[in-house]
Amino acid sequence: TIKPTRSANWRDGLREAGPAFAYAEDEVVRVMYDGFAKARYHLLALPAEGSALSEIESVADLRGRHLDALRALHSKIDSVADSLRARVNCDVRVGYHSKPSMRWLHCHIISTDMDSPCLKTKYHWLSFTTDFLISPADVERLLQVDDDDGTALTADLKRRTCLVETTALACHRCHRPQKNMPTLKRHVAACSAAKMP
């Protein structure tokens, strides 16, 4: 895992990530390795610098007027996710954190093995294994019903944000409750239940 340096404002670290983090880039999307990967494969997809979405701080700031640019971004993200699935033969989730800790719109592309030394807390676990991670399709659907005021998206994000506070720690495959992260990680390593969809 490549470790990023901490800037004066770590919340802006996505824009400060150097070439060592680069995975792929074009005029629509910039894909980079997550410096604190929460699974064996963990990428971040951001709007390319200067693109229509590059000044959006988080998923909560999206509105209906952004839908065309967002669909183009999601198309590129889907291609990266499909390529990763085929290359490493793993299941992958794609989504935005309902309440991200870092600034600038970014979408996670993460393998469902949830095997990483950086995966340390219940919050880390739940932010990737529950609906706290909102899919690109759900974001688009919510923006389609909004009258460009973000009401539906905002309400949905608030509901999802509560999940990390109210959901018990459990295996994302068999849903067996676990008392703490070390126990959970040992269980997941041996769990034979079907992989997470």
Q: Give tens-digit pLDDT for 93-128.
A: 999 999 999 999 999 999 999 999 999 999 999 999
Euclidean distance between CA atoms 119 and 57, whole angstroms: 24
Mean pLDDT of the chain: 91
Residue 2: its pLDDT value, please?
Answer: 47
Euclidean distance between CA atoms 31 and 108, whole angstroms: 10
Q: How many helices (H) and strands (E) does the chain have?
A: 7, 6
Residue 53: its pLDDT value, please?
Answer: 98
The answer to whether residues 42 and 33 touch, using CB atoms and an 8 Å cutoff, is: yes
For 77, the token pair is 């993200």
The answer to whether residues 146 and 64 touch, using CB atoms and an 8 Å cutoff, is: yes
Between residues 72 and 90, which one has the greater pLDDT? 72
Q: Is the pLDDT of residue 3 over 60?
A: no
> What value does the mean pLDDT take over residues 52-67?
96
Tell me the whole-structure pTM to 2 decimals.
Answer: 0.91
Euclidean distance between CA atoms 140 and 73, whole angstroms: 11
pLDDT category at 19 given cuts 50, 70, 90 is: confident
Sign of the dihedral through C-alpha 157, 134, 171, 197: positive
What percent of the chain is modeled with pLDDT above 90?
Answer: 80
For 94, the token pair is 């794609």
Residue 10: its pLDDT value, please?
Answer: 57
The answer to whether residues 24 and 80 touch, using CB atoms and an 8 Å cutoff, is: yes
Residue 13: its pLDDT value, please?
Answer: 67
Q: Which of 161, 154, 156 is nearest to 126 (CA)?
A: 161
Euclidean distance between CA atoms 67 and 59, whole angstroms: 12
> What value does the mean pLDDT take over residues 163-178?
94
Under DSSP, the state recorded for 171 is -
| Active site amino acids | 106
> What value does the mean pLDDT take over residues 169-178?
96
pLDDT category at 146 given cuts 50, 70, 90 is: confident
Q: Which of 162, 188, 157, 159 is nearest to 175 (CA)?
A: 188
